[in-house]
Amino acid sequence: MQLNASAAEDSDYNRMVEKFFNVQASIFLLIMTVEENLIDVIIRTRNSEEFLTECLQSVLDDVPVRKIIIIDNGSTDKTIEIASSFEKVDIYKKPDLNLGQATKYGFSIAETEWVAVIDSDIVLRKGWYENMRGYMDRSDAVEGSRIDHYRFDLPIDSSHILEDLVKLYLGENQF
């Protein structure tokens, strides 16, 4: 560019430099996330306060997270408040999306090579990610689930179990 360039040429040059650095920043972000093996995690929520703290903490403890993408389907409990208290969490309120649409929306936001989709009531076992990681180098997609449900803090009241089962069978009561 000449030293006596016009204002229009300066403006074109400035846009070109700005565009170059924006592209470079995007490439750096992509390279950085692949090199560090960071992944985005999609969690769909709706009134998920009961297990959300444990879910999010287990994800952050076990997975090399770049970003947790919460797609909320109109929670009226403390789900948003809980999710907001964690770092690396972005919340998108989408009450009009069903589960599949929410997942697709999450994928449209994700920026990493690998993306985990984890239900909001799942608490990951230590080592879950390392187990999945073993398959990632030789696969295009990895699906894995092992669910152990243990609740020792619930009182057992068996006095109404038979009655509830009969109601359920007759269609009078839905759980």
Q: What is the 3-state secondary structure (H, E, C) of 100-139?
A: HHHHHHHHHHCCCCCEEECCCCCCCCCCHHHHHHHHHCCC
At residue 24, the pLDDT reads: 47
| Whole-Å CA distances, 123 to 127, 146, 171 | 12, 11, 32
| Whole-Å CA distances, 17 to 6, 32, 135 | 17, 22, 41
Residue 174 CA to residue 167 CA, distance in Å, equals 8
pTM of the model as a whole:
0.65
pLDDT tens across the length of the chain (175 residues): 344 445 555 566 555 555 555 544 444 444 444 446 899 999 999 999 999 999 999 999 999 999 999 999 999 999 999 999 999 999 999 999 999 999 999 999 999 988 999 999 999 988 888 888 888 878 777 666 555 555 555 555 666 666 766 776 676 655 4
At residue 1, the pLDDT reads: 38
Q: Is the CA virtual torsion 50, 56, 57, 61 positive or negative? A: positive
Q: What are phi and psi of 128, to 5 degrees?
A: -55, -50
At residue 169, the pLDDT reads: 66
What radius of gyration, in Å, describes the C-alpha atoms of the chain?
23
Largest pairwise CA distance in the chain: 92
Q: What are phi and psi of 4, to 5 degrees?
A: -100, 35
**β strands within 26-86, DSSP E:** 39-45, 65-72
At residue 54, the pLDDT reads: 96
Instruction: Judge whether 34 and 109 are in contact, CB under 8 Å.
Output: no
